[in-house]
A = this chain, B = another copy of it.
Amino acid sequence: MRDLDRQETYLADRRGLALELRDLVGTGPVPAETYPAPHAVLGYGEGWFAAQASGLPDWTEEGTLFLLEGGYDLGEAAALGILAESGRVRVVRVGFREGVEVYLPPSPLSPYRYLRFLLLATGQEGALKEVDEALLKERRRLTPEVPLEENPAKFLAYTLLERLPVFYAPFFRPLEGAAQSLFARMGKSLSLTPPFNALEFFLTGLEARHEQGDPLAAVLLGSGEAAGLAKEILETRVDAIAEVPPPEGSRLAQAMALWYRLAWTAYYLALLYGVDPSDPETLERLREAT
């Protein structure tokens, strides 16, 4: 098994994604002007999670609609932009598509940057500060030089190795899809998310589980009654349970801190599988096709 505390393991990180991960806080475009309120946001691809996390509505009849064009939407974002332009609303296109007003290059770490732009553009500097502080605090124990015993992301990566992770985040369900995305794009790995009725799914979906399957590892993100019930149900049904309690702070800071920890975990998991955590070239071709 590869060792995350040895330097040669990091040779698989050919394009130095660890640096982008480490220096993430404070990066990304900043608004150059003031955007009229009320604000709304629609997010696609890399912009989806930021749109969910921002708490902004997804439509407005006046003010500003931020259209986060983070890819793979088959033109849906552009169509909605045109629709909105025909009303009294100002449309601000952010992303990597042609003709965007605010350019944000593709990266698996862009969700943070879209969120940062949104918070600054809607006058929520205080909320951003809290997010940034939570991420910087997480970072202290997540980078490669922090050894396994003190590094929860390395530890979680070993737990998930050769297992099929199941993500459950009852306090903020969109985090599950964001985790699944990170594990696919950086970890190059499959993972599973439960449907809307997660507890019922855990209770019934593992009954006919046949022998040839991957051992499952449940990752319970956040705390609370639903996470407790899920743990009770899953204890006898999965191979391993990892509880990831949130740090202190606002719900947004908690969600982003957990997202950041999962990004590091996906990074380490790629290294354990011996694959490059950066984007494969095929992704560029998909962007052109959609």
Contacts and interface: CB of A to CB of B under 8 A. Distances in A.
Interface of A: 44-46, 48, 70-72, 74, 162, 164, 177-178, 180-181, 183-185, 187-201, 203-210, 212-214, 216, 225-226, 229, 233, 269-270, 273, 275, 279-280, 282-283, 286, 289-290
B193 A195 contact: yes
B200 A71 contact: yes
A226 to B, nearest CB: 6
Nearest to A183: B205
A273 B71 contact: no
Closest 4 CB pairs of A and B: A184-B205, A177-B195, A188-B207, A188-B208
Contact of A196 (B48, B183, B197): B48
A70 B280 CA distance: 43
A185 B194 CA distance: 12
Most chain B CB within a 10 A radius of its CB, from A46, A70, A207: A207
A180 B164 CA distance: 16
Contacts of A203: 280, 282-283, 286
Contacts of A181: 195-197, 200-201
A177 B196 contact: yes
A38 B18 CA distance: 52
A187 B208 contact: yes
B197 A71 contact: yes
Contact of A213 (B210, B214, B286): B214
Contact of A204 (B188, B192, B193, B197): B188
Given A181-B201, A200-B185, A201-B180, A280 B225 contact: no
Nearest to A187: B208
B48 A207 contact: no
Contacts of A184: 195, 200-201, 204-205
A57 to B, nearest CB: 10
Contacts of A162: 210, 212
A290 B192 CA distance: 23
A179 to B, nearest CB: 9
Contacts of A214: 212-214
A189 to B, nearest CB: 5
